[in-house]
Structure 1
Amino acid sequence: MVPMWIVGLLAPALTWLALYFDILPKITTLFSFWYLPGPICSYAVGGMIGLLFTFFIFVLSWIIYYPFFKVYDRQCMQKEEEDEKKKDQLAKRKAMRERTEEA
């Protein structure tokens, strides 16, 4: 949730700054090709600089999300290892019970 907030605030702020400082061309017409992928729309409206800016925002978002993804992945791996240990312990107990019942 934290990276979603960071990217959700940072990406529009950077876009606004790029428009304010004329790095990106200001959009003056309605562009209704919402069904096209983002990079194509960015290129159609802003040219090559729009496409590069879209790629920059994507890479920046990926960099922000990656550490959180790694922490979550590590937590899932630990939980999976704990579950495997519990499963092994239960299997050993079941085998012990079966041995004692046979004797």
Structure 2
Amino acid sequence: MEQAREMASVACRALEDKKGEDIRVIDISEISVLADYFVIASGSSNSQVTALVDNVEEKMHKAGYIQKQREGQNSGTWVLLDYGDIIVHVFDTESRSFYNLERIWSDGKQIEL
């Protein structure tokens, strides 16, 4: 669990570096077997979403974390990066509001890193 928290911290810093908006971390370890944490952020445009995703991938790779899956890269509206213990969701503003993962996963605990 401590490694997952550190992974989430690396992802958050990468999102902050590129001015990701409304960055949230949700601890889902008690309610799901999918992952320990969701890291959720928004970009104001498709190009910012791409920049956020690229920076997360770069920083996670440099930290030695292996990406298991990437979904949605071509859409630019919602990209999912699966690192096993954490899943990073990067949305454009409209898609984030529509899918509202924070509401769906409200049984999880939002945490500060």
Q: TM-score, normalization: structure 2?
A: 0.28
Q: Which has the larger radius of gyration?
A: 1
Bigger relative contact order (CA 8 A; separation at least 6): 2
Taking structure 1 as the reference length, what is the TM-score of the superposition? 0.30
The structure with more helix, counted as a fraction of residues: 1
The structure carrying a bigger strand percent of its residues is: 2
